[in-house]
Amino acid sequence: MPTTADFVAIDFGTSNSAVALPLAGAGVHLVALEAGQPTMPTAVFYRADTPPQQLEAERLYGRAALAAYVEGFDGRLMRSMKSILGSSLLDQSTDIGSGRAVRYRDVVVGYLRHLKARAEDQAGAAVTRAVLGRPVFFVDDEPARDAQAQAALEAAARQAGFTELHFQYEPIAAALDYESRINQERLVLVADIGGGTSDFSLVRVGPARRHRVERRDDILANHGVHRAGTDFDRHVELACILPLLGYRAQRPARAGEAAREVPSGVYHDLATWHLINTVYAPVRLAELRGMKGWYADARHHTRLMKAVQQRLGHALAAAAERAKIDVAQTGQATVDLGVLESGLGSTLQEAQAAAALEADMALIVAAALDTARQAGVLPDAVDALYFTGGSTGLTPLVDRIAACFPAAERVRGDRFASVASGLGLHAQAVFGVG
């Protein structure tokens, strides 16, 4: 690949990540991160039987990490690492088997170091400078924690080996990718709906603006909410999978008492990627065992204990994600839960999914309208809607956003690579073309 640049652009996503390198002439090249693919799941797997001195060498990333987990290797799978930036979890340690633990911060560093190494392999040279994407808000309505999250990502990137870093909002990067395809000035609302956040930017783009390094005046408004794909997955799991394990089940009737639900905390943790492993802690296992008498239907407790004792939480979360995708594509989903009990299964219908996701979708649509409102722009004045991010595959959500901007052309970017491509173009403007 013809490039002599020592810089790279990284889209470190909640669900998937991508990396762009500059081309010597113009444009960018998306790095083949794994199996020839330009995107890679943001996932890390530690095998429990790896000797401590080989921990870095034996760590698995992306699809290989997910495959190791699905194939039943003993170890620890971690996903959605981006969602812990700005939280107290970042400096906590998590068990990875055989009595060993790693800090979440070190997991992020290791993943970024892996992305850097893959870029260097294809560039044939060291890369020490980078543009990193970031959501409009890492944390909603908490500026201090939002700044803390960016600082944590910067520190992790420096520890991974980068010496000069710049940040760009992910929806702005997507706008730059869209701008590279058009030959007239347009007012575009970028909807970047990924795994962890739904971000919107209203941006003026066009050929005359394309080569400017400073684009601040072209950005009319940025807005976003911390609701997106992983939240959808959690609601789907709570709606159609975890009730079979006792979520919202009733306790046995007692004389003189109103019926009560069993405690729901364990179910919410089981449905949240970065909290799943907390359910496996010995103290929580002991607590759950002691709750057997709290279930009117003993099968609920039996299934819950099997899920926890056999560490099936991530498998259930993956089943919920698959169900969400199936419903979006076909209007219904069948969930096989034979891993818990022979013949056990569940179904998810479109109406049920819509009800489960309604609150989050309403917040996201409101954020889109608020972006235009903050810019002082009427919805009818928006020329184009540019959709990117994995969760824009959810057609009902895209349709609801588009309905709010009736005069706008609907444009779909690469759901997983538009941001990386735009970050690469921004890196060229910041650092100079290699």
The predicted-structure confidence for 216-249, as pLDDT tens digits, reads as follows 788 899 898 989 888 999 999 999 999 999 999 9
Q: Tell me, what's the pLDDT at 354?
A: 86
Whole-angstrom distance, CA of residue 111 vs CA of residue 88: 19
Closest CA to 207 of 228, 176, 161, 232: 176
Beta bridge partners of 97: 100
Residues 310, 328 contacting (CB under 8 angstroms): no
Residues 412, 405 contacting (CB under 8 angstroms): no
Whole-angstrom distance, CA of residue 118 vs CA of residue 33: 6
pTM (global) more than 0.85:
no
CATH code that applies to domain 7-183+414-431: 3.30.420.40
Domain boundaries, the chain: 7-183+414-431, 230-349
Q: Tell me, what's the pLDDT at 52?
A: 57
Residues 430, 212 contacting (CB under 8 angstroms): no
Whole-angstrom distance, CA of residue 321 vs CA of residue 315: 10
Specify the 3-state DSSP secondary structure of 247: coil
Contacts of 429 (CB under 8 A, 6+ apart): 211, 212, 213
Residues of the chain with pLDDT under 70: 1-4, 24-26, 50-58, 433-434
The tokens describing 174, both together, are 């997507």
Beta strand extents in 214-373 (DSSP E only): 219-225, 332-336, 345-349
Contacts of 123 (CB under 8 A, 6+ apart): 1, 3, 5, 8, 21
Residues 130, 165 contacting (CB under 8 angstroms): yes
Q: Tell me, what's the pLDDT at 94?
A: 83
